[in-house]
Amino acid sequence: MLSVKENHPVEFSAELLDKFAEVASRYPQGKQKSALLPLLHLVQAEYGWLSTDAMDKVAHFLQIEPIEVYEVATFYTMYFLRPQGKYNLEICRTGPCCLVGAERIMQYIEETLGVKEGEVTADGLFSWRGVECLAACGYGPVLQIGPDYTFYENLTEQSVAQLIETLKNKVQTEA
Amino acid sequence: MGRKLLLEHIDVPGINTFDVYRQQGGYRAVEKALKTMSPEDVVEEVKKSGLRGRGGAGFPTGMKWGFLAKPEGVPRYLVCNGDESEPGTFKDRYLMTHIPHILVEGMIVSSFALGANTSYIYIRGEMMPQIRIVEKAIAEAKAAGFLGKNILGTGYDLEIYVQPGGGAYICGEETALLESLEGKRGNPRIKPPFPAIAGLYGCPTVVNNVESIAATVPIINDGGEEYAKIGIERSTGTKLISASGNIIRPGVYEIDLGLPVEEFIYSDEYCGGIANSKKLKALVPGGSSVPILPANLISKTVNGNARLMTYESLADGGFATGSSMGSGGFIVFDEDQCIVRNTWNFARFYHHESCGQCSPCREGTGWMEKILHKIETGRGSIEDIDLLWDIQRRIEGNTICPLGDAAAWPVAAAIRHFRDEFEWHITHPQEALSRNYGLAHYADPIEPVV
């Protein structure tokens, strides 16, 4: 298991660096720092989280100081500074979703996965957390799973159980 | 029957593609604006339309455009605010998912009006699927010659890029959004200078909501005067309302401004009434920041007039007995819902989303969350209610951006209208843990103020 204290060295692929360059070309000359948020999304989609080494290499690419990357990565809630489960279930916990049962769904997920919010299951497959409003209040309760941020709406205990089963089976088929 | 200007073709299969959108008359506004109008003409039509910002503040869009500084040799930017995060609001997600081209078309028309040659659509990072949809729409429009160099042979150049956010409600505030777009933390800037003078990269910039930009398409097609014929008073045109909570038909509806609130809640064309045969207890009509209304102030104002879906009527009575149109996030509460729990939930949201720059908001939102949690879990005292009131009062108006106000208002309104429910939680802690307060007298008619 990786720890946030360990440096986790990464080597960006040529393909990823090409994507970096395309994103950086969207901004005027000298304003490449604007690419920081999209680049961090690309890195996280590749590795599942942002290690210190990955952030340092993004800083190097954009020719900014590493601290400029850290301060952004720690400000926004979507960036993970430690590894998550392969499937990280993010359930909306804000008012409108709670009016239609989001708290019950979160409790069900905690019981079904057997881990507390923010923890990863022993097999490394799942983690979960409550997140703030996902702008899908009419379809609540809702959850999303990165890095594609696939959306699951109108959740019930049955549909959540089915989703978890499907994801487990998917992993077994892939293996 | 509500007029549909934005969602007219929502049910046409394939409307998310350029070809189908074009067959349905799409991109006519671009042709009309670029070929037959000057940028000033476009601004004039938007001014005539009376369109008000659909993101929440309701500031007249044409007037905002009129403030844009135009120094020689300095680029100007249009930035679309697609950081939809106000609890209760999901209309922009809907629009971008189903009719992305109306946003792209509106971006071209609006950029032309403002003289921008590079524009950005900032979409919250969680909406990755919508980011891909809008990016695809941009690519299709470009392939068809509606973007890029020398659009339609008119000599006008424009590139539009999509920028993902990182998960932060505060980036819906326009100066925080600009900071974020520059690759920084989303800390709102002190105004002035306003973005119209010094915005993105220090250049003159207009930031408009997704729905506002989309609304420029029917405004240019039919003319500003035609658009202004819809609606009442200074609430012109149509508005997307995101309806959620305990209703039979939650979803996004395009209404003519001026529709009675009662009709919107009970008509089968819209919300379809309260779900599970329950009774209506409360309404948050414009997203979590706006004051909550108890049942007796929803259909009628305190003076006994019908409450309408307009900026004026929803605000009738001020914060004492009214609320606000906000972003159109229409959250309906049935008799089983606990106002204390919901207020705590919203307070937690604002605490979580405070950027931390200003002490009243950074500290105050946390205090409010803690006190509300204490009351909700049966450990509160009567003095806590006054303390909460005191804290919200000291946050409001004392912060750089409106997040502080947005955190204070729902707490103030909940205490103002539901004080007895807070007191009941404190005096009946055990009971409060096992059941909700219910409807009490909130549905009783109130005496009109003469």
Residue ranges of domains in chain B: 18-229, 232-334, 339-434
pLDDT confidence bin for B446, thresholds 50/70/90:
low
Q: Please check whether the domain covering A87-174 is classified as CATH 3.40.30.10.
A: yes
Task: Please state the length of chain A.
Answer: 175
Sheet (strand B77-82) strand order: B159-164, B118-123, B77-82, B205-209
pLDDT confidence bin for B449, thresholds 50/70/90:
very low
Residue of A nearest to B203 (CA): A28
Q: B233's torsion region: left (phi>0), alpha (psi -120 to 50) or beta?
A: left
Cβ-defined contact of B128 to A100 (cutoff 8 Å) = no
Q: How is chain A split into domains, by residue range?
A: 14-75, 87-174
Determine the topology of domain B232-334 in CATH.
Ubiquitin-like (UB roll) (3.10.20)
- Residue A2 CA to residue A54 CA, distance in Å, equals 14
- Residue B50 CA to residue A165 CA, distance in Å, equals 52
pLDDT in tens, B34-55: 999 999 999 999 999 999 999 9
The pLDDT of residue A2 is above 70: no
> Region B286-302: what's the mean pLDDT?
96
Q: Please check whether the domain covering B18-229 is classified as CATH 3.30.70.1520.
A: no
Among A76-80, B393-397, B433-437, the least confident range: B433-437
The pLDDT of residue A8 is above 90: no
Residues in A closer than 8 angstroms to B333, CB to CB, are: 99
Residues in A closer than 8 angstroms to B252, CB to CB, are: 138
pLDDT at A29 (0 to 100):
95
> Region B112-118: what's the mean pLDDT?
98
Question: B301 to chain A, minimum CA–CA distance in Å?
Answer: 24
- Residue B71 CA to residue B269 CA, distance in Å, equals 49
Burial of B124 (0-12, 13-18, 19+ CB in 10 A): buried
> Region B404-409: what's the mean pLDDT?
97
Determine the topology of domain B339-434 in CATH.
de novo design (two linked rop proteins) (1.20.1440)
Nearest to B250 among A68, A133, A138 (CB): A138
% of residues, chain B, pLDDT over 90? 94
pLDDT in tens, B202-251: 999 999 999 999 999 999 999 999 999 999 989 999 999 999 999 999 99
pLDDT in tens, B143-198: 999 999 999 999 999 999 999 999 999 999 999 999 999 999 999 999 999 999 99
Measured CA to CA in angstroms, residue A25 lies from A32, A78, B13 at distances of 8, 24, 35
Amino acid identity at B12: V
Are the beta carbons of B408 and B396 closer than 8 angstroms? yes
pLDDT at A174 (0 to 100):
85
**What is the DSSP pairing of strand B118-123 with strand B77-82?**
parallel
- Residue B80 CA to residue B177 CA, distance in Å, equals 10
- Residue B360 CA to residue B394 CA, distance in Å, equals 7
- Supply angle C-alpha B319, B187, B330, rounded to 5: 35
- Residue A44 CA to residue B189 CA, distance in Å, equals 29
The pLDDT of residue A25 is above 80: yes
pLDDT at B437 (0 to 100):
80
Cβ of residue A96 closer than 8 Å to a chain B Cβ? yes
- Residue B12 CA to residue B260 CA, distance in Å, equals 29
The pTM (predicted TM-score) of the whole model is 0.96
DSSP annotation of A34: G
pLDDT confidence bin for B433, thresholds 50/70/90:
confident
Q: Please say whether the dihedral angle defined by the alpha carbons of residues B134, B5, B236 and B44, taken in this order, is positive or negative.
A: positive
Q: What CATH code would you report for A14-75?
A: 1.10.10.1590
- Residue B442 CA to residue B425 CA, distance in Å, equals 17
Cβ-defined contact of A137 to B181 (cutoff 8 Å) = no
Question: A100 to chain B, minimum CA–CA distance in Å?
Answer: 7
The annotation status of A98 as a binding-site residue, yes or no, is no
* Beta-sheet strands, E only, within B156-289: 159-164, 205-209, 231-232, 235-236, 238-245, 251-256, 280-284
Count of CA atoms in the C-beta half-sphere (13 A) of B209: 30
* Beta-sheet strands, E only, within B76-117: 77-82
Residue of B nearest to A67 (CA): B184
Please name which of B95, B99, B92, B106 lies closest in space to residue B28, comparing C-alpha atoms. Answer: B106
Question: A28 to chain B, minimum CA–CA distance in Å?
Answer: 9
pLDDT at B448 (0 to 100):
44
The tokens for B268 are 């089968």
* Beta-sheet strands, E only, within B210-271: 231-232, 235-236, 238-245, 251-256
The pLDDT of residue A6 is above 90: no
The pLDDT of residue A3 is above 80: no
pLDDT at B436 (0 to 100):
80
Residue of B nearest to A134 (CA): B85
% of residues, chain B, pLDDT over 70? 97
The tokens for A101 are 């049962």
* Beta-sheet strands, E only, within B273-427: 280-284, 293-294, 329-334
The pLDDT of residue B8 is above 70: yes
